[in-house]
Structure 1
Amino acid sequence: MLADDPLGAQRERLADPLPPSYLQAFEAIERDPNNELVVAEDDAGGVVGVLQLTCTPYITHQGGWRATIEGVRVHKSCRSSGVGRQLFEWAIGRARERGCHLVQLTTDKQRPDALRFYEQLGFVASHEGMKLKLAL
């Protein structure tokens, strides 16, 4: 699912076996109690959606915690079926359980459908985000 769109196809590597970097990232997420990789399954146990939830303490907002949702993907056969909404409802509930005061995410400006979806869930484009790519 990560490589199954024009943007993901440019930055992900779909190979069999997958590059070791994916397994290393999974293991790091699994070890970190502030990170959760969440999947949605269909009735047959197939993965149809995924997101990563990261809870981070901040010195702002009186030392509050924030949740960041990243890596959101829904299998193309399940889009507009409610899978994404269920993933987000779970993630927002989990953020509340963890005591987060805010849930944040970024979306690529080339994904207008994703932006509309997030707005329907109540997210507001309140900040301008910036990124700096680092050479490896």
Structure 2
Amino acid sequence: MAWQETLEIATRGRGTQEITSDVDGIVANAGIDRGIAHIFVQHTSCSVMLTENADPSVRHDLETLARRWAPDGDPTYRHADEGDDDMAAHGRALIAGSSVTVPVSHGRLALGTWQGIYLWEHRSRPHRRRIVVTVTG
């Protein structure tokens, strides 16, 4: 059996937004006791990630690392159609990833104690992002 819903999230610009409860709600709607939830973002300049949800400094530090991996406005970039953050956002998305898979147990996400699911916007300005959640079991 499979269930699929799409979330639409308005971002505030670069940074993270926790979507754990949104995804868990979809898992509950699916009515699947055991299986997997696959969370996939349909964009190339943001990511979905599974990370620490207790200490926000972790997400701040991840942003610091991303600035090192893919700095905005690098003069060697060729792609800058949408501004100085354009190519950097694509690079960050490639490194951080476009999907995560989480086990479903007893009809809920089987996350660890300090784990949360986040949409990580890599662009400087706000965007509307679509996230497809597929639950199978």
| TM-score normalised to structure 1 length | 0.27
Higher relative contact order (CA 8 A, sep 6+): 2
Q: Which has the higher strand share?
A: 2
| TM-score normalised to structure 2 length | 0.27
